[in-house]
C-alpha cells in the first residue's frame, strides 16, 4: 500500500525576516501572520507567499518550504478534589 505525504508546507523565516513582516500587508487588507512551529521555526503560509503583491516583500515568494509541525498543546489534568 502506497502512503501519501500530507504535510502542509510553509515558508521558513529567520527571526529578522519575521520581525520585518509583523503588521505588514501582503495584499489589500491581508496581513502577514508569522507563527512559530513546534521546532521553534518562524513560518508563514504558502498563501501569504503566493498571494503577496506588496513589492517590499516579494522576497517571501522564494522562501525555503518546510513541513509544518504544529505546536503540541499539553493535555489538561483533571485535578478536581471532592
Residue 1 has pLDDT above 80, yes or no: no
pTM across the whole model: 0.81
Residue 32 has pLDDT above 70, yes or no: yes
Question: What whole-number percentage of the chain has pLDDT above 90?
Answer: 78
Residue whose C-alpha cell is 493535555: 75
Reported as a pLDDT band with limits 50, 70 and 90, residue 73 is confident
Domain boundaries, the chain: 9-67
**C-alpha distances in Å from residue 9, one per residue of 13, 56, 65:** 13, 23, 6
- The 10s digit of each residue's pLDDT in 6-18 is 789 999 999 999 9
Amino acid at each position: 500500500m502506497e502512503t501519501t505525504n500530507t504535510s502542509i508546507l510553509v515558508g521558513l523565516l529567520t527571526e529578522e525576516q519575521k520581525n520585518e513582516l509583523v503588521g505588514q500587508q501582503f495584499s489589500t487588507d491581508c496581513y502577514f501572520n508569522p507563527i512559530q512551529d513546534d521546532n521553534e521555526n518562524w513560518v508563514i503560509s504558502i498563501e501569504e507567499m503566493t498571494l503577496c503583491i506588496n513589492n517590499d516583500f516579494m522576497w517571501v515568494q522564494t522562501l525555503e518550504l518546510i513541513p509544518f509541525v504544529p505546536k503540541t498543546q499539553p493535555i489538561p489534568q483533571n485535578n478536581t478534589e471532592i
